A and B are shown apart, each in its own frame.
Chain A
């Protein structure tokens, strides 16, 4: 098992973000270093406050009917919003979050427009260089 996990966060839908934050938590718990590369719709989900704004919570079109049920079950089971889980994981372990520079330009976003959990922006070459000795997951 490699001791570094790199995650490309492409999707901005809550189901994938929730799975991503949970798996990243498990990875840091097990002692892995984690690097996130946040791009496209994933980057939109990292805009300041987007994760707690009900109008910006998205599900894939084919699963939209499950939205209300998921929300109810999450509350009943004590499942934290994905960003809270990710922030807790960053307090505990070695997580770095990089935003995709090109996506930022495309959407006209500055680093300051993103959640504080984002450490810096990076180009694709820089991220790929970090992947040489890491396992890579795509969400």
Chain B
């Protein structure tokens, strides 16, 4: 069952640190418990976004590899 995603951000075509900053902006505007998805074609996001989620202490619900881009789903847990 797919997680209910409140907001999907398409950051494809944007380079470091763009996708992470767009994700942070989306997460800031969302409520605790919400999941936010971000699409990124920047290879650096594959390390950067999990590292950020780990540091902040949110939950990385999924990281799907779609070839040309990744789709990350992050839940704001607090």
Which positions in A face B, CB cutoff 8 Å? 22, 25-26, 29-31, 77-80, 85, 88-89, 91-92
B33: CB under 8 A from chain A? Answer: no
Q: CB-CB < 8 A to A89: which residues of B?
A: 17, 21
Cβ contact within 8 Å between B15 and A29: no
> Which secondary structure dominates chain B's binding surface?
helix
Q: Looking across the interface, which residue of chain B has its beta carbon closest to that of A23?
A: B17
Q: A114 to B12, alpha carbons, bound, how many Å?
A: 32
When A30-B52, A30-B55, A31-B56 are in contact, do A80 and B18 touch as well, CB less than 8 Å? yes
Residue contacts A-B, CB under 8 angstroms, 10 given: A25-B17, A29-B20, A31-B55, A31-B56, A78-B14, A80-B15, A80-B18, A85-B21, A92-B21, A92-B28
How many chain B residues touch A (CB < 8 A): the figure is 15
B6: CB under 8 A from chain A? Answer: no
Cβ contact within 8 Å between B21 and A29: yes
Q: CB-CB < 8 A to A29: which residues of B?
A: 17, 20-21, 24, 52
Q: A92 to B18, alpha carbons, bound, how many Å?
A: 12
When A30-B52, A31-B55, A31-B56 are in contact, do A92 and B16 touch as well, CB less than 8 Å? no
